[in-house]
Copies of this chain bind each other. A is one copy, B any other.
Amino acid sequence: MDSGKTHHHHPQMYYYTYGPHAPALRVSPGDTLVTTTVDALNIDETGREIPRQCRQTSPDTSFKEFNPLTGPYYVEGTEPGDVLVVHIRQILLTRDFVNGGAAFDGGGLAWGISAGLSLGPRTPTPESKAYSWRIDRDQGFGNLELPDSRVGRVKIPLQPHFGCIGVAPAWGQFISSITPAQNGGNMDCVETAAGTTVYLPVFVRGAYLFVGDVHAAQGDGELCGGGLDITAEVTLELDRIPAKRIEWPRMENEEWLMVAASARPLMDAFRLGQVELIRWLEQDYGYDPLDALHLITQVGTTRVGNVVDPQFTVVAKFPKRYLPEGESPSHP
């Protein structure tokens, strides 16, 4: 697949749903794609909001869009039932600032609760604060002043990753860019970083790949609803596995086989991820499924991606050192 073409693409239009919109570019398995993303709040690398005419606006003009998506990329030759392979080669941050926030929702913390629970004018305004991070791209750190806290300031390591990576969903749906699902989407997982290969189920001819919402860093669960939202130039190498059935996005890197399942309640996402992981070990690595379940019980790791999106994302992980010897990183 290294013999493919390299496409340099700069988006002219951003989308807020996953679906078979007019392709921004047609690429082939084996090709490499270099493109850019703006941040989750529609701000570009210079700090300017992307203009209205560059957004696929919703018919509902009252809506404030989040998570503008770069794409869609039509991958020639992909058919429903195939797997789209996305090798994430590089996520290069393209600015030095991040603006984020935190808010308590009155009597509790709002995360994990569907929007719409508050009682309007009678609800006390939730306390909230804004935070300005300085991103040191050379050293790979984020710096934040915290004058209200005894610690004063913190410096954290960066781990750039996609908040959003996905394809057109099943059944003719167009799914919001804030929602993760079987087609990937807004999974908000640190695992979708450079060095990871993402395997996405193809539901529509051409796959229609979208990316966006790069974070410079994020903790487990994305509690406040936002990681360190930033802009990036990203390099992806694409491939195709024909006629391979996967139910959920699968990922692998040097160390892990991983499944990212998205559902509500949180427990369903947990279950669905484990079952898909067991299936993977059975299909590709010759594990008896009961053996796989017993072994995952002892050595498996599970990370919570987000508990704030319309579906929550859980990543079930299996250490590759327990694969049969000599079985190299491979297809899902």
Contact = CB atoms under 8 A, between A and B. Distances in A.
Given A60-B170, A171-B63, A151 B268 contact: no
Contact of A150 (B144, B275, B285): B285
21 contacts: A56-B172, A59-B205, A63-B171, A104-B107, A107-B110, A107-B124, A108-B110, A108-B113, A109-B117, A113-B268, A150-B285, A154-B322, A172-B174, A173-B175, A219-B300, A221-B274, A223-B297, A224-B294, A264-B265, A265-B267, A267-B307
Interface stretch (A15-23, A24-32, A192-200): A15-23
Contacts of A152: 324
A308 to B, nearest CB: 9
A328 interface: no
A139 interface: no
Interface string A26-53: 0000000000000000000000000000
A12 interface: no
Contacts of A304: 270, 302, 304
- Which interface residue of A63, A264, A272, A294 has the most chain B CB atoms within 10 A? A294
B108 A117 contact: yes
A330 interface: no
Contacts of A150: 285-287, 324
Interface of A: 16-17, 19-20, 56-63, 65, 80-81, 100-114, 116-120, 122-124, 126-129, 131, 142, 144, 146, 148-152, 154, 156, 168, 170-176, 203-205, 217-224, 226-228, 247-248, 263-268, 270-272, 274-276, 278-279, 285-302, 304, 307, 312, 322-325
A100 B296 CA distance: 13
How many copies of this kind of chain does the complex include? 4
Contact of A293 (B58, B60, B109, B270): B109
Contact of A302 (B129, B218, B220, B300): B220
Contacts of A108: 105-108, 110, 113, 117-119, 123, 271, 275
